[in-house]
């Protein structure tokens, strides 16, 4: 199993460390991603089904995986998402990978945790456009779901808390350990090339690390977009001030994780930067007042690409079929 293999990897790394090789981990401002701990496997299996089940949407077509595609770094790779009836979403979909490490969920942090977040999209008219009641009716009409919920929660009635708990438990497994950068942190000195290491050095010395740090290389704080120079966004989102009501939080966003950033293009809350080269250039100028040369930029990009870890590996869940009593989807009205 995947989890066991990963802990063996860590054990192997620890053995390398014990053998006296350089271990930088303790001094570095970025820490390795740990495999998921204390996971309820039954709940994960249920949550995985729900994550992939488009019947939680009005159209019967949109699942969590539509916008957070686990074959594409947990994102949709488009500037802003497509919701019910092809509606254009207001903001870029962040990755679900390593989202359990976030200080809060959403760009403005308006959901405290994954469980609270998971209720949002199902009932959001611009996303899955369903309601919690309709979602429960759908699940309750399918005997195999009834049984699986009962096995996990011991109750006859399904409720939305059970649904969001299960999805959140599955999301906790979506961590991506064992990137080349983490191998380097854990003591494999040859895991990075000289160019990648030079990029990491620039990332630290230029000041990127002040905001992008910790295991997720971000996700743990809110900061202004456009510290030195203003950012002209193509989206109307105002950032954290929408949650706090404080003027000082205007245009402050959760610092995105840079884990797997090679896979999660396009970048920024409005999805306006198509490439890492562009994102690094904008960050340098707007956040730090630094103009990187093409060579410096390429080094930082090379470093960022070492943050791609093992992607979640599991069998696609088979969803239980609808019963005669299951309400039918409504894709076009
Ligand atoms: C129509 C596209 C769409 C669907 C469907 C969708 N999401 Fe999202 N998701 C988004 C967008 C866009 C955001 C960012 C919204 C914001 O920050 O205001 C987001 C944010 C999130 C976040 C927060 C990540 C972070 O770093 O802040 C998580 C976790 C998440 N979604 C999980 C889910 C789950 C679980 C489902 C299914 C129940 C789901 N999403 C369905 C588009 C979608
Ligand atoms: C003052 C804090 C701060 C500093 C310093 C900073 N960033 Fe950021 N970074 C952010 C915030 C906030 C965002 C999200 C901005 C937005 O989307 O509007 C972000 C976004 C990014 C993104 C896009 C990620 C995504 O998924 O959309 C990349 C890549 C990035 N930063 C790299 C860097 C690099 C490289 C540096 C150093 C040159 C740097 N950052 C310096 C706060 C910072």
| pLDDT digits 0-9 by tens, 54-97 | 999 999 999 999 999 999 999 999 999 999 999 999 999 999 99
Ligand 2 within 6 A of 265 CB?
no
Ligand 2 geometric centre to CA of 283 (Å): 6
Q: Is the pLDDT assigned to residue 3 strictly greater than 50?
A: no
Which stretch of DSSP H or E encloses residue 87? strand 87-88
- pLDDT band at 4, cuts 50/70/90? very low
- Lowest pLDDT segment from 9-23, 31-45, 72-86: 9-23
Ligand 1 geometric centre to CA of 113 (Å): 12
Across 4-11, average pLDDT: 42
Across 145-164, average pLDDT: 97
pLDDT, position 21? 47
Q: Is the pLDDT assigned to residue 11 strictly greater than 50?
A: no
pLDDT, position 17? 41
Cβ atoms within 10 Å of 82's Cβ, excluding its own: 17
Q: Look over the chain and give the mean of its residue pLDDT values, rounded to a whole number.
A: 93
Residues 285 and 276: their CA atoms lie apart, in Å, by 14
Catalytic option among 127, 169, 196, 296: 127
CB 123 within 8 A of CB 131: yes
Strands 252-254 and 222-224, bridge-based pairing: antiparallel
| % of the chain exceeding 90 in pLDDT | 91
Q: What are 123's two structure tokens?
A: 């009932």
This prediction has a pTM of 0.93
pLDDT, position 18? 41
Ligand 1 within 6 A of 114 CB?
yes
Strands 82-83 and 87-88, bridge-based pairing: antiparallel
Across 218-225, average pLDDT: 98
Across 112-132, average pLDDT: 94
- pLDDT band at 9, cuts 50/70/90? very low
CB 282 within 8 A of CB 273: yes
């Amino acid at each position: 199993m995947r989890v066991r293999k990963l802990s063996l990897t860590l054990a192997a790394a620890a053995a390398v460390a014990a053998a006296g090789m350089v271990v930088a981990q303790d001094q570095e401002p970025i820490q390795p991603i740990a495999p998921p701990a204390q996971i309820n496997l039954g709940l994960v299996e249920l949550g995985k089904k729900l994550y992939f089940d488009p019947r939680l949407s009005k159209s019967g077509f949109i699942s969590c995986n539509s916008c957070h595609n686990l074959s594409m770094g947990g994102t949709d790779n488009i500037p802003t998402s497509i919701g019910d009836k092809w509606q254009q979403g207001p903001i870029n979909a962040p990755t679900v990978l390593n989202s359990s490490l976030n200080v809060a969920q959403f760009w403005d942090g308006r959901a405290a945790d994954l469980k609270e977040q998971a209720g949002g999209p199902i009932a959001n008219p611009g996303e899955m456009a369903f309601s919690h009641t309709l979602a429960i009716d759908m699940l309750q009409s399918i005997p195999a779901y009834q049984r699986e919920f009962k096995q996990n929660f011991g109750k006859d009635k399904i409720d939305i808390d059970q649904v969001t708990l299960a999805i959140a438990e599955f999301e906790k497994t979506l961590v991506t350990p064992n990137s080349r950068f983490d191998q380097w942190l854990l003591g494999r000195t040859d895991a990075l090339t000289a160019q990648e290491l030079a990029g990491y050095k620039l990332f630290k010395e230029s000041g990127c690390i002040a905001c992008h740090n910790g295991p997720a290389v971000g996700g743990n704080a809110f900061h202004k977009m456009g510290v030195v120079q203003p950012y002209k966004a193509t989206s109307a989102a105002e950032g954290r001030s929408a949650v706090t009501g404080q003027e000082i939080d205007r245009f402050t966003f959760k610092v995105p994780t840079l884990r797997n950033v090679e896979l999660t293009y396009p970048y920024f809350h409005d999805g306006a930067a198509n490439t890492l080269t562009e994102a690094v250039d904008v960050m340098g100028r707007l956040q730090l007042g630094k103009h990187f040369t093409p060579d410096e930029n390429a080094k930082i990009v090379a470093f960022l690409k070492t943050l791609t870890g093992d992607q979640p590996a599991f069998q696609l869940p088979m969803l239980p079929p609808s019963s005669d009593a299951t309400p039918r989807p409504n894709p076009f009205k």
